[in-house]
Chains A and B, each alone.
Chain A
Amino acid sequence: MKLYVISNPEKCSGCRICELVCSIKKEGVSNPSKGRIKIARIYPGFDMATACRFCEDPPCVLLCPRDALKKGKNGMIGLYKEKCDGCGICVEACEFGAITMHPDEKMPIFCDLCGDDPECIKYCPENALEIASAEKIAQRARISTFKKYLESIPE
């Protein structure tokens, strides 16, 4: 089953510690613009983080005019840096906004799960981040809805 970093908007506080530690881990500097995970915030305080979801048929790979992006065997997106010239169409193509341009290299950056042990999850103070599959979230929903039904049955 395909795993990726999922953020729970009911728990996310929008603190951006995930953005911060991602940039320190991946780039050795404090710079959330270089983080591979990004939050979105809606006034007056609703938040959620987004990282690459390793789509089956990624629009970013599809639309790259130079075939600089590929979907690897492990499901993750890979970049051929020598082919990329920073046009940004991959950034536009992603409906989740999970890809952004590296401010210095001017090439796309996206989550790679830090190999297999994502750093961000270790720091989230609200435990809003987890590495999971969509199916796991669906299982939870089935169980919790069923639980609610059971609890509502009169004795």
Chain B
Amino acid sequence: MGSQRNYYSYGYTGRILRVNLEDKAAKGEEIKEELRRKYLGGRGLAVKYLYDETPPGIDPLGEDNKLIFMTGPLTGAVPTGGFCYIAAKSPLTNIIGGSLMGGNFGAELKFAGYDGMIIEKKAEKPVYIFLDDGLVKFFDASHMCGLGVHETEEMIKDEIGDYDLKVACIGPAGEKTVRFASIVAESVHSSGRTGMGAVSGSKNLKGIAIRGTKDVPVFNPEGLLREIEKTAKRRNVFQAALSAYGTSAFLSLSARMGAFPVRNHIRSEGYHFDEEEIFSSIIKKDACFACPIGCIKVSRIPSGRYEGELSSSFGYDALSSLGGLCGCFDTGFLMKAHNMCNELGMDEISAGAVISFAMECSERGLKFGDDERAVEFGNCASEIDLLGDIANREGIGDLLADGVKKAAEKISYGSEKYAMHVKGLEIPGYDPRKMKKTALSISTSNIGADHMSSSSFLLELGFSLPISSYQGMDDEKNTPMIVKELEDWLAMTDSLVICRFYGVSIDKSQISSYLSLVTGIELTLKELEGIGERIWNLERIYNLREGLRGREDDALPDRFFPDDEEKKKFDMQIDEYYRIRGWNDEGIPKEEKIKELL
């Protein structure tokens, strides 16, 4: 039956698949038990492999980068257990890159017999991989170049002759190594930030298809059923909002705080959307593996040039980044723009941010070479054209495809002032001036300006989350502790791997219950928090190794500090954050902290 501390018998398969694209070879490999004891799986394990197996200073788009897909002990067995974590050195930021990928792909990888997949080297010509219940086959994908992700998925399913395959692939953006290109699972689950799609494109890997029919053995099947039943048919306020409206539910919440940013974060204001139109365009919901929330909305474009076209997972990111930041408030256009980002395979937050950067530069008279096209705030049609150009690296799209930081460096002429990013990752649609926890969160996230790393923005929007011990205490004094706790907890749930929306909205004790029911492993909340802290510090050390400057990079663009008073307050929060984390004034983990954790 296996002892309680045996990490091999339940939940895990115990093996990863190492794929060499140059040799077109794949081999199974055991995961050392010590690694799983310390890092659990998913994000923790992926980052650990990356840290151990790649030397400092590699080119993220070069052969030495590794593209890692990693599942965790809960994958395939619990609600939202279809996720996997994707990690590699990011071509956008040159530090750790990583993103959760939703749907069913991760579960299928485990059903195929592996906890993870490490993709190495580069294929001579475009290929796709088919993992068939443990057996790996490589197929030519040259005829798929230029195809969108859905077209690619359909073609792969046709060629292999199996419509239940779970496919994750890149679109033209990934092929052209647009630095914020995404990998998209099952045509609709975009993963997401930091350019994992570009890494795949640089390796000539067009896609991965998986079919798995193996068991995930469960330690206590009856107990697991009872535990799943607890959240299957009940929703709290947060889950109910997502269930009904998706992340569009956040729109009125951020707008009423005056935290909905417009025009490249020049300011924030209310919004000009017809919320009724957005909500009534929803036809039904779609959900990831066993998820009781179902935050994905299937909608029909309600009006305008693209009326009638269907869309999946339209929500806040499209409304804020493709919408508000670009001064575009036409729902019909935004749903089309969102569809394009999905199909072309690129991160809509970064895409919207880089276009809004171009719009501000244009309005301030900075020219982009010979391109005479009107790039101005509010020009929805040109935004749609630009999305296509970015994905194909045409015209100024080629410049913008490298992200705001690199684009500003190329243009110079002071355009760096208008590049809204932290560590090279573009800032999402929440105003850090109004949302202090988010300000600290996007400054300290290990992948750059990512609001989801702590998801503290949800607290600021007014949701009560079971996982934060600071409920209703809104004084800024507690902000560093709140953010740190959330960051560590989610680093751990990203390693189990479950969805963040599910992970933030269920009791912490349920997470440890799931873990013990599926795997038989008993871990206290303190131990789970400790694992999260370990993972966070490992990412920090990786980043420092890759040239992160510590405190200097844990910073927001000047635009967000209208006066010295605000800057001082922010600096004090960073001081306190470092103190809580056991880091020195420069944001470098102290010796004792490293010894304690790593």
Contact = CB atoms under 8 A, between A and B. Distances in A.
A126 interface: yes
Given A16-B289, A44-B312, A45-B188, A10 B221 contact: no
B233 A125 contact: yes
Q: Is the interface of A mostly helix, strand, loop or mixed?
A: loop
B216 A123 contact: no
B72 interface: no
Nearest to B82: A16
B291 A33 contact: no
Interface in B269-293: 284-293
A11 B310 CA distance: 17
B496 interface: no
Contact of A45 (B215, B217, B218, B286): B286
Which range contains the number of B residues in contact with the other chain?
35 or more
A31 B224 CA distance: 14
A32 B285 CA distance: 21
B217 A29 contact: yes
Task: Indicate the member of A11, A28, A32 with the most B CB atoms within 10 Å.
Answer: A32
B294 A15 contact: yes
A20 B514 CA distance: 15
A126 B298 contact: no
Interface in A9-45: 10-11, 13-17, 20-21, 24-25, 27-34, 43-45
Nearest to A19: B290
Contact of B218 (A11, A28, A103): A28
A46 interface: yes
A103 B133 CA distance: 11
A123 B229 contact: yes
Contacts of A11: 284
Given A13-B287, A21-B225, A31 B214 contact: yes
Contacts of A34: 215
A47 B286 contact: yes
B215 A31 contact: yes
Nearest to B233: A125
B213 A103 contact: yes
A2 interface: no
Q: Which of B285, B310, B518 counts the most A-chain CB atoms under 10 A from its CB?
A: B285
B56 to A, nearest CB: 39
Contacts of A43: 150, 187-188
A45 B232 contact: no
B225 A17 contact: no
A83 interface: no
Given A13-B285, A16-B290, A126-B285, 20 more contacts: A15-B292, A17-B292, A20-B228, A20-B290, A21-B225, A24-B225, A28-B221, A30-B76, A30-B217, A31-B76, A31-B216, A32-B107, A43-B188, A44-B286, A45-B286, A45-B312, A103-B213, A122-B229, A123-B228, A123-B232
13 contacts: A13-B286, A17-B232, A17-B290, A17-B292, A20-B290, A28-B221, A30-B76, A31-B111, A33-B213, A44-B150, A44-B188, A44-B298, A44-B312
